[in-house]
Amino acid sequence: MAETAPVVTLDHVTVAYGRSQVLQDVTTTFASGAVGLLGPNGAGKSTMIKALLGFIVPEQGRMRILGLDVAVASLEIRARVGYMPESDAHIPGMNAVSFVAYCGELAGLPRVDAMQRAHEVLFYVGLGEARYRNVETYSTGMKQRIKLAQALVHDPDLLFLDEPTNGMDPRGRDEMLELVRDLAHHKGVNLVLSSHVLPDVEYACDDVVVLDKGRIKVAGPIAALKQPRGRVYELRVKTPAADLEPFFERLRAAGLECHATDEDVVRVFVPGEGGARDVFALAAAAHVQVRHLRASVPTLEDVFARAVGEE
Amino acid sequence: MTPIHDQSYRRYGGGRAPRGRAWAVIAAGGIRTFIGRRMFLGLLLLSWSQFFVRAVQFYAAANLPQILAGDAVAAASFFAPTPATFRDFFDKQDLFVFVVSVYVGAGLIANDRRANALQIYLSKPLTRAEYVFGKLAILMAFLLLITWVPAIMLLIVQILFAGNFTFVRNNFYLFPAVTLFAFIEAGVVSAAMLALSSLSNSSRFVGILYAALMFFSQALFGVLAFVTGDSSLSWIAITHDLAQVGDEIFRLPLRYRTPWPMSFLMIVLLVVVSGLVLERRVRGVEIVA
């Protein structure tokens, strides 16, 4: 596959709120297509997006979006970018279609075109029937959809979606992810999906940038990152979770990574040529009874856990 | 089967307006919102009542001598317009300027802050200055509609009823005076109200704060004037500063002992402070360090 130019580039970017550095010397790129910006709460994801939009001026470093320097061509960038904020945001006193059309006009669309696009994107995001209702009467899920609609109305080349599935019920969440996936894979819109929900990113995105405590931990295509440089096993053990620590210590001492995913389920990453026998041997040595062991398909969760060092 | 109309997402291939016009979109959107409210239309109509009264007065001044005999000539001269009539018109409109400022201005930024709309606005290709200018234009448009427009209309009505240009020729400075004072008043009031509106998420609080500042400064001046027996401290109330500058513009005797440049300086200071407040408060993200 031909290499395409990155849509977003950060070069030694540091952002601080007062004395607290939220992004620390971040250098990374976001490829075209759908890229997940993954990290725990407080990792600096939203700050990174706000800095890219020009809301926050970094203390140092350079950022480029679609080949344009953020510090120089902020308005030109914003004309080609759509932003779906994390928190509830709307323009008060307007119904949905007026609000979205107004956003289109603000982005430079002629009034008639903005109104036509507003109707189209509202149907696209699933708010066609509710488009004449005041936005303030919308449910949380509908507010998420209207935020996507206002970000889309001017047909951006790049979308920043900040936690787009927050507060949505399972069905609404699936529909939102389907929209995000469709935009990136069928409509030619590049997007950066910021989230702390791993399955969302795994479903909708091709690439991922993992951020933790203001630093990039890992970045690249999800498929490549998930390629096991070893094997992953899922164990179900009889020992109570509270007594598993000695077993974990043995695993770690032997160079195996592990983390508990449920009360009695443990995921173990065996690097190199090792296999299930090594796990059984270590379990026996720790007097842990393994009830069930199966080779597991590596997930983004494994990548994330390894990158962030979560247990 | 292919649907008649594809309701899926389509790329946009149409034209885009050159940058720098977003303020006009904000202004037009805001004006449309208020015009759509019946209560506000009623308020606008009420604020024009003085215009109609003055128009009748001008008609009487121009036509009474021809209708009646004797004492009517004296009555006509009583009704005859003078430059002070136009200055007085602005004084009497102050009540409506206050009400419209609170009704329109209090929520202009406060409501956007409450709804987190600033990050929506500022993620579009517009600058913070364009946003502020657009909001300023909304309030200024309505204030000029109840001050400058009726005052200029009165001048035109005077010419029409008198059937000659004598009054206007003798007082030609009234056109620029009316325009200058109306724009100063609307600009200062709008800037101050917008700055206050940016300080809170509650339009009700902003309205109360604005009213309190106006009344408190006037009351403070009243007390000080009573104690000192001197009106040279009128600069502490912005309404009095506007009155002083207005008197100077209309070439009338000043009503307070404060030199008019001092009052003008206070007006400039208020605009500068308002600008600084807006610069600090209108941001896409609020940082609490």
Residue A48: list chain B partners with CB under 8 A. Answer: none
In this prediction, residue A286 carries a pLDDT of 86
pLDDT above 90: residue B133: yes
Name the residue among A18, A89, A152 with its Cβ closest to that of B9.
A152
ipTM exceeds 0.95: no
> Beta strand A257-260 with A265-271: parallel, antiparallel or unpaired?
antiparallel
Residue A120: list chain B partners with CB under 8 A. Answer: 7, 9-10
* Type of residue numbered B113: R
What lies within 8 Å, CB to CB, of A229 at 6+ separation is A271, A272
Residue B124: list chain A partners with CB under 8 A. Answer: 78-79, 103, 106-107, 154
Residues B218/B223/B228/B231 CA torsion (nearest 10 deg): 20
Which residues are registered as beta bridge partners of A218?
A210
Contact B11 A187 (CB under 8 A): yes
- What's the rounded Cα separation, in Å, for the pair B267 and B255? 17
Residue A121: list chain B partners with CB under 8 A. Answer: 9
Name the residue among B33, B111, B123 with its Cβ closest to that of A83.
B123
Residues A123/A127/A130/A132 CA torsion (nearest 10 deg): -60
In this prediction, residue A2 carries a pLDDT of 47
Give B30-79 pLDDT, tens digit per residue: 999 999 999 999 999 999 999 999 999 999 888 876 655 556 555 666 67
In this prediction, residue A309 carries a pLDDT of 66
- Tell whether A120 lies on the interface with B, counting CB pairs under 8 A: yes
Residue of B nearest to A150 (CA): B120
In this prediction, residue B62 carries a pLDDT of 85
Name the residue among A78, A88, A90 with its Cβ closest to that of B124.
A78
Could you tell me the two tokens for B7?
């309701």
pLDDT above 90: residue B85: yes
Could you tell me the two tokens for B135?
């909001």
Least confident of A20-29, A282-291, B87-96, B156-165: A282-291
Contact B12 A154 (CB under 8 A): yes
Burial bucket for residue B54 (CB in 10 Å: 0-12, 13-18, 19+):
buried
In this prediction, residue A1 carries a pLDDT of 44
**Unique residue bearing structure tokens 């406060």:** B110
- What's the rounded Cα separation, in Å, for the pair A287 and A275? 19
Contact A92 B115 (CB under 8 A): yes
- What's the rounded Cα separation, in Å, for the pair B90 and A155? 48
pLDDT above 90: residue B260: yes
Which A-chain residues 67-96 have CB contacts (< 8 A) with chain B?
75-76, 78-79, 81-83, 85, 87-94
Which pLDDT band, with edges at 50, 70 and 90, does B122 fall under?
very high
- Give the residue from B92, B143, B91 showing the smallest Cα distance to B252: B91
Which pLDDT band, with edges at 50, 70 and 90, does B231 fall under?
very high
Which residues are registered as beta bridge partners of A37?
A194, A209
Which A-chain residues 250-309 have CB contacts (< 8 A) with chain B?
none
* Cβ atoms of residues A236 and A290 within 8 Å: yes
pLDDT tens series, chain A, 311 aa? 445 789 999 999 999 988 889 999 999 999 999 999 999 888 999 999 999 999 999 999 999 999 999 999 999 999 999 999 999 999 998 999 999 999 999 999 999 999 999 999 999 999 999 999 999 999 999 999 999 999 999 999 999 999 999 989 999 999 999 999 999 999 999 999 999 898 999 999 999 999 999 999 999 998 888 776 677 888 888 877 777 888 888 888 888 888 777 667 888 888 777 788 888 888 888 888 888 888 877 677 777 777 776 54
Residue of B nearest to A121 (CA): B9
In this prediction, residue A170 carries a pLDDT of 92
- What's the rounded Cα separation, in Å, for the pair A20 and A192? 25
* Cβ atoms of residues A232 and A295 within 8 Å: yes
Q: How far is CA A131 from the centre of its chain?
A: 28
- What's the rounded Cα separation, in Å, for the pair B242 and B220? 17
Which residues are registered as beta bridge partners of A271?
A230
